[in-house]
């Protein structure tokens, strides 16, 4: 599911959790969904939230480090599902005949 600006926190967290195993599965698709969920979390979650008598402090650095890691992995694993970026193999064994 694509996350949008109207996605609820529950939807964002579900996308994060559902794709958290991207590395174990070596899944480029899951890595991209995980990265997207992290980006949305970083934007939508404040660093600190004060509610009544409680104060919650979020470790945004943890999510930022995860985003850096998954982004590096994505960049090192090209997506060949797009035909225009797929490698082309040429058989030149008969080129001089």
> Model's pTM, two decimal places?
0.71
pLDDT of residue 56: 66
Domain extent at residue 20: 9-79
pLDDT of residue 5: 83
- Cα angle, residue 22 at apex, residues 20 and 27 outer, rounded to 5°: 155
Mean pLDDT per 10-residue interval, the chain, length 97 residues = 84 93 94 94 70 70 91 87 57 63
pLDDT of residue 61: 85
pLDDT of residue 92: 64
| Residue 88, domain member (yes or no) | no
| Residue 25, domain member (yes or no) | yes
Backbone angles phi, psi at 14, to 5 degrees: -60, -40
pLDDT of residue 60: 80
Question: Rounded to whole angstroms, how far apart are CA atoms 78 and 92?
Answer: 26
| Residue 92, domain member (yes or no) | no
Number of structural domains found in the chain:
1
| Residue 73, domain member (yes or no) | yes
| Residue 51, domain member (yes or no) | yes
| Residue 95, domain member (yes or no) | no
Characterize the bridge pairing of strands 48-51 and 54-57.
Answer: antiparallel
| Residue 19, domain member (yes or no) | yes
| Residue 45, domain member (yes or no) | yes
Intra-chain end-to-end CA distance of the chain, in Å? 53
């Amino acid at each position: 599911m694509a996350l949008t600006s109207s996605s609820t926190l529950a939807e964002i967290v579900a996308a994060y959790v559902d794709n958290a195993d991207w590395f174990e599965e070596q899944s480029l698709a899951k890595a991209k969904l995980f990265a997207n969920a992290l980006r949305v979390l970083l934007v939508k979650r404040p660093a600190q939230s004060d509610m009544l008598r409680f104060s919650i402090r979020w470790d945004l650095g943890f999510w930022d480090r995860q985003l850096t890691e998954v982004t590096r992995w994505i960049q090192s694993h090209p997506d060949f599902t797009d035909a225009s970026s797929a490698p082309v193999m040429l058989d030149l064994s008969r080129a001089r005949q």
